[in-house]
Amino acid sequence: MGRLKKITVEVPEELLESARQNGEGISETVRDALELKARRQAYQRLRELRGKIKWSIDYKTMKHDR
């Protein structure tokens, strides 16, 4: 995981309780939410590249290469 940074966050109590699963702690809930946000941003950057990269082989060739 690397280095940890301590933060203070104010969130609506109802939101926090609805996000917590199976009694997991607040830190784990916030960590999961931050990881989800980071993944969504990475996928968004990938979607923005759609149609901008030229492939040297076509889909059928890649499929038969398996």
The token pair that represents 17 in the structure block: 């309780």
| All structural domains of the chain with their residue ranges | 13-64
Q: Is 20 exposed, middle or buried (0-12, 13-18, 19+ CB in 10 A)?
A: middle
22-60: pLDDT as tens digits: 889 999 999 999 999 999 999 999 999 988 888 777 777
Q: What is the pTM for the complete model shown?
A: 0.70
Q: Is 22 helix (H, G, I), strand (E, B) or coil?
A: coil
6-25: pLDDT as tens digits: 999 999 999 999 999 888 99
Q: How far is CA 27 from CA 4, 9, 16, 58, in A?
A: 11, 11, 11, 45
